[in-house]
A and B are shown apart, each in its own frame.
Chain A
Amino acid sequence: DAGITQSPRHKVTETGTPVTLRCHQTENHRYMYWYRQDPGHGLRLIHYSYGVKDTDKGEVSDGYSVSRSKTEDFLLTLESATSSQTSVYFCAISKHQGTQYNSPLHFGNGTRLTVT
């Protein structure tokens, strides 16, 4: 257990509503990531963070925003949910320092989001 908690674990929402998913870590790692997993596409990076208030876009960032006001929390917001955002969302952390990207990624248990 890498000390990662995702909430909620399951959510059903309607098209057009905003949704926020939370990732909480207990180990003060600098790097945090949001991925989505879809059949036929595998895992794809949405956004990542390399420190408090330092974030950047991933491969599939359109329609998503993130915030990191504290080391331990990384929030993913769907500004106006669409059915194409129905997916399983995973948060991950990595403890490498500086530019030594040599540490493994550890994943949370995921949030299953359904947009109706």
Chain B
Amino acid sequence: KQEVTQIPAALSVPEGENLVLNCSFTDSAIYNLQWFRQDPGKGLTSLLLIQSSQREQTSGRLNASLDKSSGRSTLYIAASQPGDSATYLCAVRPSGSGGGADGLTFGKGTHLIIQP
């Protein structure tokens, strides 16, 4: 069974710092990996999607990398701002037996606070 782990569970940094959030998964048989952010009391907003054949994706100040063979992904946030404060979730779409149609397997998230 695929398991997704996110470290750290919580992180607090001063505004302006560059930071890295980590995600690991136990089974490398995946179609893709997706990063989300979730604000308190809100739904999930998709940030980046990396296909299994890709190494990284970039959107603005965000860069996500994927090393499928080692079961790792990182989300790099450059020049952090207070508005980046949220919970960041990593999820993989398994491609093993029966996988794919049944959606994503999620980590429990990293709660990020950017101090002004």
Physical interaction between A and B: yes
Give chain A's interface residues, CB within 8 Å of chain B: 31, 33, 35, 40-45, 48, 50, 56, 58, 90, 92, 94, 99, 101-110
Chain A binding surface, main DSSP class: strand
Interface flag for B108 (CB, 8 Å): yes
Q: Which of B43, B46, B95 touches A101 (beta carbons < 8 Å)?
A: B95
Separation of A90 and B95 alpha carbons in the complex (Å): 23
Q: Which of B36, B45, B51, B101 touches A31 (beta carbons < 8 Å)?
A: B101
Separation of A109 and B103 alpha carbons in the complex (Å): 18
Separation of A44 and B46 alpha carbons in the complex (Å): 17
The answer to whether A48 touches B43, judged by C-beta atoms less than 8 angstroms apart, is: no
The answer to whether B51 touches A102, judged by C-beta atoms less than 8 angstroms apart, is: yes
Residues of A within 8 A of B49 (CB): 103-104
Interface flag for B61 (CB, 8 Å): no
Q: Give 18 A-B contacts (CB < 8 Å), ordered by A residue.
A: A40-B108, A41-B108, A42-B108, A43-B104, A45-B102, A45-B103, A48-B101, A50-B101, A92-B44, A92-B103, A99-B100, A101-B93, A102-B32, A103-B49, A105-B34, A105-B104, A107-B46, A109-B42
